[in-house]
Structure 1
């Protein structure tokens, strides 16, 4: 794969950019972290295996230490490993690492708008508004609990129709989880038979995998060249454009009957904010930003929780003794006469521990999202200049042998004390940490507990007869289990 990249006839503008940056690329800054040897121009793009790059980066730390450097194309990247190092960077020095780097593949879609990949005043305004609005519509409240439990009724009815026969849980689980964020953002859910919505769900997974692959890194490293070439990276642009058209249609429908005095959802509240701040020169609220913020919430609120639940099905089928212990606890505390509520959580320590262990072993966002230094920072004995991309390797924390008794084994005991009480660990950071921690963490935690507990109360999961457990994964922005079929049998 190396020779075609190196032999490309680079357009004049890109060639000039590479030439002007040549001294900067190859002159190592003083007191900069070490790292593996990098090839000219492409750097370490072909040093790592992008199908398991999180494992490669964790292995590099054994040789180069918890803070080391890679070069992807023209961009120097500092990789952080281990809980203490990541805590120091994202929490203790969080203000200096609160920005996101510009990634051309994302920038070509969102035009530096939205709430996830933006910076500065725009990001602060949009994040604050999103958190306040989601809280207003029930995140962390009983009203949203009811929406999750109602959605599970639709989902369980659909799954029960398979009568214990094998089925692929991917799209149906995505659809159910997405309906929660859709209720908050759009004010309504989508039927599982909605072909257009099902298509969108399937496209999310495809796009996130490509973005996390070598195609995504090539695009971000050589955008001028890659924009002109065919390949999977072009598919990403087509997918998100189609999703944005879908979102704009929803926004236009809201604008037809929007009532500022009676907001129904996030879009209505945003339209009110546009009207309220229209004369504020420092305001960042407009219809274009609404579309991009809606995209961020829609995708982030769909894929990660759904992926975690699908890992949960795999682990419960692989470890039936753990599944039975969870079900016994649920039967004892809740029984079969009512649905679980968040109030039950403190009385279900083993179930809670299993959910956390699914998150730890599932390792859903293995490399978090990238940060960039907005000023010079010191990490350990190294000085990181302003403008350097930082990758917090969450895999190195989730599988750290110094933090977990059996890091590579599914063990709910990691989250239980000697008395069997649930005990959350400081090194458990699946939602990252600091100022850029996932803004939907509270929503995700609620969904995971209610959905998982409801599944365990209602069904028993097992692989089809003669089928081995599929523990392999697809690496992308998220780490998802490979496509599989499973049997869900109704419990008596």
Structure 2
């Protein structure tokens, strides 16, 4: 054996001994934490994740250690909740203790704890109250936003209709239509689908979501001091964030020049008014930094997840044309062909409602969720979670739990229907999370999915250039985030002339 080989072997042996010793010391210190894989075991799981995906590995760990387990991410101890009972116990029954937002190094390098989604403590409370009330003022959950979605849905079907029965990729049109809804709230106006600034903005959002969804982001969380020096998509994300930051900052400056405090036009105006009102308050969190980062987070969260879900939904409806036919029948019976779909129709359309829920379940766009942390030393199920322990609610496992979904891997709208065909809720359906940190845009996303999908299917029959059995549902990215595959479809106009139902 050469001297260099011997030195390398000795170094590896020393490193292994140190890891084993550190692992033993950690176990001694954290005996009240949930059980979980050792460092070497976790490393083995992570190596498998390159091929099998993070969610499949977490399923394996859950099978061995149960629905609540702990693992070490670098120097951080992370607790995972992998069933609906533990998630609800934590986020609802002990909502205050679990209301913190965990530090995510891959994201915090942009936001540094600013913005409503990533903030903690008093900053989060101020921004959350303001954002929720302002979104309500601009129509979230009210008739005015419904009218905006109905209008944007018409722009979308007009754009789809321009293809005259030729196959096309619907991704851009869908993303642009969803983005225009949040644009109307944050910026006070929609954009033409061909507007170059709008196209650049959409490109930045799409690329940021794509890069942040990949497995390299998980390794960034584990090794934040090393990963910035290793090439990969995780290091491309900053330029996309910078593009979004510059766009929002410019919009803020434009709003400032024509601001009327007595009549705010949009979210940015409302924030600027509050900034002026509280400029003498040293405890105020209403700053330019929080305005820009909150707007980015609302815009990002309000665009990519919903548009990806809708894109995945159209693909599923082409693969399962019998489901699409039943939705067509329900639309014809309840709405007809001439009236625009409205939210008050949803209660009379249990099958369509079930289909949309099943699309959300299978699309599973954020399977790992956005991590929480405990705000104080917290007792949970006999364990003691020290203050600032990171907690991940694995929503993707909840959405595929065979205890709640009879056939979790299949597209089966009956998961949300009772024996008489009435819509039924499912306790494990939590794609938006729950509790104090539940997604701010939940009601908006539900309105968009229902109104846009029914408007598309009211106007068109969707068909793939491929035979249904040949349609591949494999995501383009299936790691920390799920990105639907690229595909083309035919949007074939449905026959005109059917009367609305009475």
**CA-to-partner distance for each residue in 1:183-236, whole Å, 9 max, x for gaps?**
000001111112332233233233223223232123233333333444322200
Matched, 1:103 2:111: no
**Counterpart in the other structure of 1:15:** none
The structure-2 alpha-carbon separation of the partners of 1:40 and 1:64, relative to structure 1 and needing over 3 Å to count, comes to closer
Contact 1:166 1:464 in 2 (8 A): yes
By how many angstroms is 1:338 displaced?
A: 1.0
* Mapping for residues 26-425 of structure 1, pairs under 5 Å: 27=28, 29-39=30-40, 45-46=46-47, 48-49=49-50, 52-425=53-426
By how many angstroms is 1:117 displaced?
A: 1.0
Contact 1:164 1:488 in 2 (8 A): yes
Residue of 464, 474, 481 corresponding to 1:478: 481
Distance in 2 (CA, whole Å) between partners of 1:436 and 1:50 is 32
Distance in 1 (CA, whole Å) between partners of 2:123 and 2:27 is 34
**Counterpart in the other structure of 1:3:** none
Contact 1:254 1:267 in 2 (8 A): yes
Distance in 1 (CA, whole Å) between partners of 2:246 and 2:24 is 43
Q: Aligned-residue CA RMSD in angstroms?
A: 2.2
The structure-2 alpha-carbon separation of the partners of 1:462 and 1:430, relative to structure 1 and needing over 3 Å to count, comes to same
By how many angstroms is 1:484 displaced?
A: 1.6
By how many angstroms is 1:476 displaced?
A: 4.9
The structure-2 alpha-carbon separation of the partners of 1:476 and 1:47, relative to structure 1 and needing over 3 Å to count, comes to closer
Contact 1:38 1:71 in 2 (8 A): yes
**CA-to-partner distance for each residue in 1:80-133, whole Å, 9 max, x for gaps?**
111111111111122111111112221221122100011011011101111101
**Counterpart in the other structure of 1:469:** 471
**CA-to-partner distance for each residue in 1:42-79, whole Å, 9 max, x for gaps?**
79643533762112212221111111122222222211
Matched, 1:445 2:446: yes
Matched, 1:488 2:499: no
By how many angstroms is 1:462 displaced?
A: 1.6
Which secondary structure does the structure 1 equivalent of 2:236 belong to?
helix
By how many angstroms is 1:24 displaced?
A: 6.6
The structure-2 alpha-carbon separation of the partners of 1:22 and 1:282, relative to structure 1 and needing over 3 Å to count, comes to farther
Q: Which range moved further: 312-321 or 44-53?
A: 44-53
Distance in 1 (CA, whole Å) between partners of 2:339 and 2:358 is 26
* Paired positions, count: 474
Question: Normalising by structure 1, what TM-score?
Answer: 0.91
Which secondary structure does the structure 2 equivalent of 1:96 belong to?
coil
The structure-2 alpha-carbon separation of the partners of 1:125 and 1:116, relative to structure 1 and needing over 3 Å to count, comes to same
**CA-to-partner distance for each residue in 1:465-488, whole Å, 9 max, x for gaps?**
458212111135532211222222
Contact 2:215 2:480 in 1 (8 A): no
**CA-to-partner distance for each residue in 1:12-60, whole Å, 9 max, x for gaps?**
xxxxxx9xx9987575511322222323997964353376211221222
**Counterpart in the other structure of 2:429:** 428
Distance in 2 (CA, whole Å) between partners of 1:364 and 1:103 is 18
Distance in 1 (CA, whole Å) between partners of 2:391 and 2:306 is 25
Which secondary structure does the structure 1 equivalent of 2:433 belong to?
coil
Which secondary structure does the structure 1 equivalent of 2:447 belong to?
helix
Contact 2:186 2:295 in 1 (8 A): yes
Contact 1:38 1:44 in 2 (8 A): no
Q: Which range moved further: 50-59 or 74-83?
A: 50-59
Which secondary structure does the structure 2 equivalent of 1:164 belong to?
coil
By how many angstroms is 1:273 displaced?
A: 0.4
Structure of higher CA gyration radius: 2
By how many angstroms is 1:418 displaced?
A: 2.5
Distance in 1 (CA, whole Å) between partners of 2:221 and 2:395 is 22
**Counterpart in the other structure of 1:12:** none
Q: Which range moved further: 56-65 or 326-335?
A: 56-65
Runs (5+) with no aligned partner, structure 2: 1-7, 9-18, 496-502
Distance in 1 (CA, whole Å) between partners of 2:230 and 2:396 is 33
Runs (5+) with no aligned partner, structure 1: 1-6, 8-17
Which secondary structure does the structure 2 equivalent of 1:155 belong to?
helix
Which secondary structure does the structure 2 equivalent of 1:238 belong to?
helix
Distance in 2 (CA, whole Å) between partners of 1:67 and 1:22 is 20
Contact 2:350 2:417 in 1 (8 A): yes
Q: Which range moved further: 200-209 or 154-163?
A: 200-209
Distance in 1 (CA, whole Å) between partners of 2:35 and 2:50 is 20
